[in-house]
Amino acid sequence: PKQATEQAVAAKISPKIETAVAADAVQSSAMMARSTRAMTSQEIFLSQIKAGAISGWNKYQVLPSVTAAQAILESGWGQSQLATQGNNLFGIKGSYQGQSIYFPTQEWNGSQYITIQDAFRKYPNWSASVEDHGAFLVVNPRYSNLIGVTDYRRVASLLQQDGYATAPTYASSLISIIEYNKLHEWDQEALSGQASGGNDNNQVQPDQDVTPTSGTHKFTKTTTIHNAPDATSAVVGTYNAGETVNYNGKLTVGNATWLRYQSYSGVSRYVMISQTTTNDNNNQATVTPASGSYKFTAKTNIRSAASKTAQVVGTYNAGETVYYNGKITTGGTTWLRYLSYSGAQHYVAMSGDEVGAVAKPDVVATSGSYRFTKTTAIKSSPATSATTVGSYNAGDTVYYNGKVTTNGQTWLRYMSYSGAQHYVQISGESTSTNVDKPQVTPQSGSYRFTQTTAIKNTPAGNAPSVGTYSAGDTVYYNAKVTANGQTWLRYLSYSGAQHYVAISGNAATGNTTSKPVTNSQGAFRFVTTTNIRTAPSTRASVVGEYNPGETVYYNGTVQAEGYTWLRYLSRSGATHYVAKLEG
């Protein structure tokens, strides 16, 4: 699932999933339950996800009560923007049956975080999102220990143990939500086989009408592996022609015959061996297990399936090479199948799906830095018609690894945090004098701050602030950086990103009006919308907000500008501040 940054919170992409919110979901549900109208809205939400949660147990052996509690916690009872616009209750990225919805999110480009448009799975309804959540847990090996476990307290603890969320109260919050809303009754229904909607002819119960028989079956063509005897269920792998499965059951669902076998993880899996259909066999795909490399002679679409009507997810340029693991022939077109960086299977046609002839780019391998003077689009390839994946703002800096000239335009190439090459157009401007190259001296030590100091994601005074250190705090740094007459300490943040704090120059002055922090702990429930800031000052950057009814768990207080500021450690590891407004 997504791990949204504070910037994503500010954009209201999804609800805050910090420790405070995790604990507050339980209290919020209790408060809302006191109102008949609020309770009715919760009942509507639960009725819309119940079928999917129980189907998730039938197909994937993920306990319904825990799935429902996570949906409540992650989507704020279905009120997040991702839930309302994409029916995505868990923030799972990628595509669902070829459908995605794009929201801005943060990406580390090697020197700083930038905003890009990232794809999240888009579902036809909430029930589909809940059911797909089960598939997500099954295909990720680290969650294999909770598959089939029937004790919701144990499953909640395993989710936290396996790293689904970092909040220390995540498991206890799920358990409280389950018990308050009596979601464990869903478990009893699923385990007893009396799940609501059981009369739905399309609902396949586990092992229903299975003939207990064993044997081996040798495949004559590539065949998909499913988590249920249902062609629309999640695909978790394939058998290639010539491979053999040892099955322990055979069943007929509709017009298809399936073999059931037990996977290495202990979960039942299913493969279809025959189907009565009226489709024209000439339209069926022929898959040939093959591996090799192919060099493109023209810019070619990358698609999510072996079809020209499938979603375009990228392009290969002339001269680039794909390393494929299969060939598919369908409708007279030969497609190459390969495993993408994200783990998804993608497809490119060997001919007939070209984007159009483009001039071959002139690439010069060179490195340096460039500071932008205006908002500039980030592209997936060096072409103005390419997909825009984000933007740099005026004052931002990119550290590039190549310069590309094509069609009379000059582009800078850099490696993004995800490993993809991205491009920004500089329109022929010089890159040699835009910014002084920082001088880095590798050394380690500790530094204690005497005043509030901003944390930056690059060694530049105009770089975005991602948090603050307060007077008396200590940083353990791994290098000193000199840039534009300022000295910075570089350190590795909790999230794994390199951050910087100035110890000389104007950037080190910080908030001179702030007062010492009183170390105290507690919880505060907001009664009005309140900004989250990088420092205890109304002039500090706003990085998000708390809404009425939400709770912050703070670790210190600061008296400044006539307010009592509550200091807390955000999920990203940065220190943030909110004013204590009593209403």
CB 315 within 8 A of CB 65: no
- Residue 178: what pLDDT? 93
CB 255 within 8 A of CB 275: yes
Amino acid at 176: S
- Residue 263: what pLDDT? 66
Mean pLDDT of all residues belonging to the chain = 74
CB 119 within 8 A of CB 387: no
pLDDT category at 177 given cuts 50, 70, 90 is very high
- In the chain, the percentage of residues whose pLDDT exceeds 70 is 72
Helix, strand or coil, per DSSP, at residue 41: helix
Task: Say how many C-beta atoms besides its own lie within 10 A of residue 520's C-beta.
Answer: 11
Residue of higher predicted confidence among 30 and 164: 164
CB 154 within 8 A of CB 67: no
Torsion sign across C-alpha atoms 509, 512, 514, 518: positive
pLDDT category at 535 given cuts 50, 70, 90 is confident
- Residue 25: what pLDDT? 44
Whole-model pTM: value is 0.35
pLDDT category at 38 given cuts 50, 70, 90 is very low
Highest-pLDDT range among 27-36, 268-277, 551-560: 551-560
DSSP state of 329: E
Q: Which two tokens stand for residue 155?
A: 């499953």
Q: What angle do CA 566, 467, 445 make, to 5 degrees?
A: 115
Indicate if the pLDDT at residue 52 is higher than 50: yes
Average the pLDDT over each of 62-71, 109-118, 159-168, 377-386 and give the range with the smallest value: 109-118
Residue of higher predicted confidence among 38 and 462: 462
- Residue 276: what pLDDT? 58
Measure the CA–CA gap between 157 and 134, rounded to whole angstroms: 17
- Residue 183: what pLDDT? 93
Amino acid at 82: L
Average the pLDDT over each of 197-211, 253-267, 519-533 and give the range with the smallest value: 197-211
- Residue 288: what pLDDT? 61
Indicate if the pLDDT at residue 21 is higher than 70: no
Where b means 16+ CB within 10 Å and e means fewer, 208-229 reads: eebeeeeeebebeebbebbbbb
Indicate if the pLDDT at residue 507 is higher than 60: no
- Residue 26: what pLDDT? 44
Average the pLDDT over each of 160-174, 330-344, 375-389, 527-541 and give the range with the smallest value: 330-344
pLDDT category at 95 given cuts 50, 70, 90 is confident
- Residue 343: what pLDDT? 55
Radius of gyration of the chain from its Cα atoms, rounded to whole angstroms: 27
Question: Which residues have C-beta within 8 Å of that of residue 445, sequence separation ≥ 6?
Answer: 476, 477
pLDDT category at 323 given cuts 50, 70, 90 is confident
Indicate if the pLDDT at residue 357 is higher than 50: no
Q: Which two tokens stand for residue 410?
A: 């000059």
CB 104 within 8 A of CB 11: yes
Domains of the chain: 6-192 (1.10.530.10), 210-277 (2.30.30.40), 286-349 (2.30.30.40), 366-425 (2.30.30.40), 439-508 (2.30.30.40), 522-579 (2.30.30.40)
Report the residue count for the chain: 583
Measure the CA–CA gap between 443 and 499, rounded to whole angstroms: 15
* Residue 315 φ/ψ, nearest 5 degrees: -145, 155
**In whole angstroms, how far apart are CA 47 and each of 44, 197, 302?**
5, 11, 39
Task: Say how many C-beta atoms besides its own lie within 10 A of residue 399's C-beta.
Answer: 19
- Judging by beta carbons within 10 Å of its beta carbon (0-12, 13-18, 19+), is residue 297 exposed, middle or buried? exposed
Q: What angle do CA 366, 369, 370 make, to 5 degrees?
A: 115
Indicate if the pLDDT at residue 453 is higher than 90: no
Report the DSSP beta bridge partners of residue 363.
Answer: 404
Measure the CA–CA gap between 210 and 208, rounded to whole angstroms: 5
Indicate if the pLDDT at residue 282 is higher than 70: no
- Residue 304: what pLDDT? 72
Of 230, 405, 241, 408, nearest to 327 (Cα)?
241
